[in-house]
Each structure stands twice: as structure tokens, then as C-alpha cells.
């Protein structure tokens, strides 16, 4: 039986800011930019009782907590601290799968210190992180990634929770469907309409029905409801895309403004592609009209997309496939990916123009 630990730092960005700035300790803070369209990246635990949470618009956070303190992010510092934390992980195993700067999976089935119990490893890691960084972390332990991830949220902050194999099915049965990995608000709402509110309800639905409603994701939900997750902890995670986007302070209305913004996003995208040495064939355009409505369009080229001259005509084509002339735009983004989605247009260069194939 595998021994998987999921480590999740507690309110990481906010905790780093409070550690480095003693005057912020004990105050409700959010890490964000104080701009109309900004969103909260992290909320301190002092801010959370007011209903403030990550991904919330900063304007809404101010309404819920009028005395909220907004701290601009220092990403270079978060990366430094993250490197310290990951060096602790590697003292115990090289099977470390980073999920983000502040969380990772560890497979400690065969660990460097020959410690038999995963909970003892988790306790040591938490203590070393505290000693070396002054920050707390929460840990979840189980026999697969799905359960370890959920377990790390059970006793936050600064807690440890274990889901034992012999108790996993009972644990899953009581679990709200919103807590399942991969179930977002829209999927949860759809499941609620099907009468699915807990893991027990989900387990009662046939595989055929779940696949019919949710496609390939239905197979994942079916397995998770039964405590099955065979994904290994992968130390190297291949980058699947490189992108950038801009949220405008004021909605962009005119065609000229939109094309200029698109051009500057392309220039930034080209820089990021070069920096990451990324090779992809599919360009994805993302447009957000408002908080609830957004679209994506994609197109695939036979050539690797590296330069402005390669990307610009594709981006313009995708833009013209949208309603960009008729509605103000809040956010515009572009990304290059290796993944081709079903229904993509396929393009190649013919005498300097785009030739589209089925």
C-alpha cells in the first residue's frame, strides 16, 4: 500500500507577508493589488471569518471587511521560501510532485530515512518547515493523491489528518460533493440536480450514467467515489502550456483598442515562450466579457508557434471569430499549448496566408 502525503502551506502568501512585516500580524490582510479589477490571491486567517477568500474580487473583499489591509504581492520572495520548503521535502524522498509554490505531493512509501509511519514523516516535515521558515503547514496522509489532498484541508491550519485505507469508503461516503477533487461550482450544481450531494450519492450512480453526463470526467468521479486513484506521484511535470492575460482597469470597447492590447499580449507571450523554451502548436484565445461570461477559441498550426509573425495572424483570426466588436471586453488572454482540442481549426501557411483544414 502506498504512503502519500500532501503538504499545503497555510495562507502562504499572506503568512510570508505577516512574517516579514510584524505590524501586519493579527490583522485581516489580503495579498492583492488595490485596483478595481484585482482579485484576492490569498487571505489571512484573520480575514476569513469575514467571508474573504482567494479569487474574490478585491472590491467585494472591501465590502465584507471594510478594515481589510491590502498588501501587494512579492512573488520573488514567495519563490525563495518555496525553494526552502521543497528542500525539506527532498530530505525524505525524491518522489515530490510540486502542485504550486505552496503545495506538493510526496510518496514516502520508500523514504530516505526509513521511517515506517507516514504520520511521523509529516510531523517532522512540518516541524522543520516551521523552524526554517517560521511558517506553518497542514498535511494530509492516505494511500492515494485524491484522499491525501482532501485530508490536508480537514484540520487547517497547522494540522494533520490521515485517511486510513480501512476507513476510506466511510470517509468518502460522508464527504460533500463540493470537496471532491475536480468538482467545481458548475459541476456541483449539475450533480445537485441529479440528487448527488455526498460521496455516498455519487457511488450509487452507474458508470454509464456518469460518462453520459460528464464524459471522461465521469470515469474519474466513479473511481474517486470508490477510493480509487492510481495516479503516481510524478517528480517531473511536463509544462502543457504557456500563456498570459490582461484584465483591463476599464472595459475595452473599440476595435483599435482591442487589437493594440492583443498585440502587446502577443509580445509578452513570445517572451514567455522563449524564457520557458516551450514548443506548442495550438494557440488559445480567451475573452472575458464580465464576471460570468467568457469564451475560448483555439487554432492549431503545423509549425511550432514561437514568433510574433507566426502568432499574430492566428490571434487575429480567432479574435474575428468572436463577438468582440459588439461587446466590451474585461479580460483578454493568449496561450500556446501542446494539446489540441476536439473541433480545433487546423492551419498551415500557404504563400503567406492561412489555409484551414478539417
Q: What is the pLDDT of residues 148-165, one digit of tens each?
A: 999 999 999 999 999 999
- Tell me: pLDDT of 341 over 70: no
As a whole number of angstroms, the distance between CA 185 and CA 53 comes to: 15
- Tell me: pLDDT of 238 over 60: yes
- Tell me: pLDDT of 139 over 80: yes
Cell digits of residue 10:
497555510
In the block, residue with C-alpha cell 483598442: 257
**pLDDT, greater one: 227 or 302:** 227
Q: Dihedrals φ, ψ of 308, to 5°?
A: -60, -40
**pLDDT, greater one: 35 or 262:** 262
As a whole number of angstroms, the distance between CA 136 and CA 192 comes to: 35
pLDDT of residue 151: 97
Burial level of 250, CB count in 10 A (0-12/13-18/19+)? exposed
- Tell me: pLDDT of 349 over 70: no
Q: 86-116: per-residue pLDDT in tens? A: 999 999 999 999 999 999 999 999 999 999 9
Least confident of 16-20, 33-37, 45-49, 286-290: 33-37
Q: What is the DSSP letter of 49?
A: G
Three-point CA angle 159, 163, 168, nearest 5°: 150
For range 250-259, the mean pLDDT: 89
For range 227-239, the mean pLDDT: 88
For range 10-22, the mean pLDDT: 97
Percentage of residues in the chain with pLDDT exceeding 90? Answer: 76
Specify the pairing of strand 96-100 against strand 69-71. Answer: unpaired
Go through the domains of the chain in sequence order and give each one's CATH number.
1-162 (3.30.70.270), 168-225 (1.10.150.20), 241-357 (3.30.1490.100)
Q: What is the DSSP letter of 198?
A: B
Cell digits of residue 255:
476595435
For range 118-131, the mean pLDDT: 98
Q: Dihedrals φ, ψ of 80, to 5°?
A: -60, -45
User: 58 pLDDT band (50/70/90 cuts)?
Assistant: very high
- Tell me: pLDDT of 350 over 90: no
Start-to-end CA span in the chain (Å): 47
- 103 carries an active-site annotation: yes
As a whole number of angstroms, the distance between CA 55 and CA 243 comes to: 19
- Tell me: pLDDT of 327 over 70: yes
Q: What are the beta bridge partners of residue 354?
A: 349
Cell digits of residue 213:
453526463
- Tell me: pLDDT of 343 over 50: no
Average pLDDT across the chain, whole number: 91
User: 342 pLDDT band (50/70/90 cuts)?
Assistant: very low
For range 17-44, the mean pLDDT: 93
For residue 29, what are the contacts with CB-CB under 8 A and spacing of at least 6?
Answer: 14, 17, 18, 43, 44, 46, 47, 68, 69, 70, 71
- Tell me: pLDDT of 354 over 90: no
**pLDDT, greater one: 291 or 5:** 5
Neighbours of 10 (CB within 10 A): 18
Sheet of strand 329-337, all strands in order from the earlier edge strand to the far edge: 241-252, 329-337, 282-288, 294-301, 345-350, 353-357
In the block, residue with C-alpha cell 456541483: 188
DSSP-assigned letters across all residues of 240-270: -EEEEEEEEEEEE-SHHHHHHHHHHHHHHHH
pLDDT of residue 339: 57
As a whole number of angstroms, the distance between CA 51 and CA 111 comes to: 40
Contact 25/49 with Cβ under 8 angstroms?
A: no
Helix (H, G, I), strand (E, B) or coil at 50: helix
Length of the chain, in residues: 358
- Tell me: pLDDT of 357 over 50: no
Question: From the candidates 17, 46, 103, 246, which is the catalytic residue?
Answer: 103
For range 47-72, the mean pLDDT: 95
Q: 180-215: per-residue pLDDT in tens? A: 988 988 899 999 999 999 999 999 999 999 999 999
Amino acid at each position: 500500500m502506498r504512503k502519500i502525503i500532501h503538504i499545503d502551506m497555510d495562507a502562504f502568501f499572506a503568512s510570508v507577508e505577516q512574517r516579514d512585516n510584524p505590524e501586519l500580524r493579527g490583522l485581516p490582510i489580503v495579498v492583492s493589488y488595490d485596483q478595481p479589477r484585482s482579485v484576492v490571491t490569498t487571505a489571512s486567517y484573520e480575514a476569513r471569518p469575514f467571508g474573504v477568500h482567494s479569487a474574490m474580487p478585491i472590491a467585494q473583499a472591501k465590502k465584507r471587511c471594510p478594515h481589510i489591509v491590502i498588501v501587494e504581492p512579492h512573488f520573488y520572495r514567495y519563490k525563495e521560501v518555496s525553494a526552502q520548503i521543497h528542500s525539506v521535502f527532498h530530505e525524505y524522498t525524491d518522489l515530490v510532485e510540486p502542485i504550486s509554490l505552496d503545495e506538493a505531493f510526496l510518496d514516502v512509501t520508500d523514504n530516505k530515512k526509513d521511517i515506517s509511519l507516514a504520520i511521523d514523516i509529516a510531523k517532522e516535515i512540518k516541524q522543520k518547515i516551521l523552524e526554517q521558515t517560521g511558517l506553518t503547514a497542514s498535511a494530509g496522509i492516505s494511500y492515494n493523491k485524491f484522499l491525501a489532498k482532501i485530508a490536508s484541508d480537514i484540520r487547517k491550519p497547522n494540522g494533520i489528518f490521515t485517511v486510513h485505507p480501512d476507513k476510506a469508503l466511510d470517509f468518502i461516503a460522508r464527504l460533500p460533493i463540493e470537496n471532491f477533487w475536480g468538482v467545481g461550482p458548475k459541476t456541483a450544481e449539475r450533480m445537485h440536480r441529479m440528487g448527488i450531494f455526498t460521496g455516498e450519492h455519487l457511488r450509487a450512480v452507474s458508470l454509464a450514467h456518469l460518462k453520459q453526463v460528464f464524459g471522461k470526467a465521469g470515469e474519474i468521479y466513479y473511481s474517486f467515489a470508490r477510493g480509487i486513484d492510481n495516479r503516481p506521484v510524478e517528480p517531473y511535470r511536463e509544462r502543457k502550456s504557456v500563456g498570459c492575460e490582461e484584465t483591463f482597469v476599464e472595459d475595452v470597447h473599440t476595435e483599435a483598442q482591442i487589437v493594440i492590447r492583443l498585440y502587446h499580449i502577443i509580445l509578452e507571450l513570445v517572451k514567455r515562450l522563449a524564457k520557458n523554451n516551450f514548443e506548442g502548436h495550438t494557440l488559445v484565445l480567451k475573452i472575458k466579457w464580465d464576471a460570468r461570461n467568457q469564451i475560448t477559441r483555439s487554432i492549431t498550426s503545423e509549425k511550432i508557434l514561437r514568433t510574433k509573425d507566426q502568432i499574430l495572424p492566428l490571434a487575429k483570426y480567432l479574435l474575428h471569430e468572436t463577438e468582440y466588436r459588439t461587446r466590451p471586453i474585461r479580460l483578454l488572454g493568449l496561450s500556446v499549448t501542446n494539446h489540441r482540442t476536439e473541433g480545433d481549426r487546423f492551419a498551415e501557411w500557404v504563400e503567406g496566408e492561412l489555409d484551414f483544414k478539417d
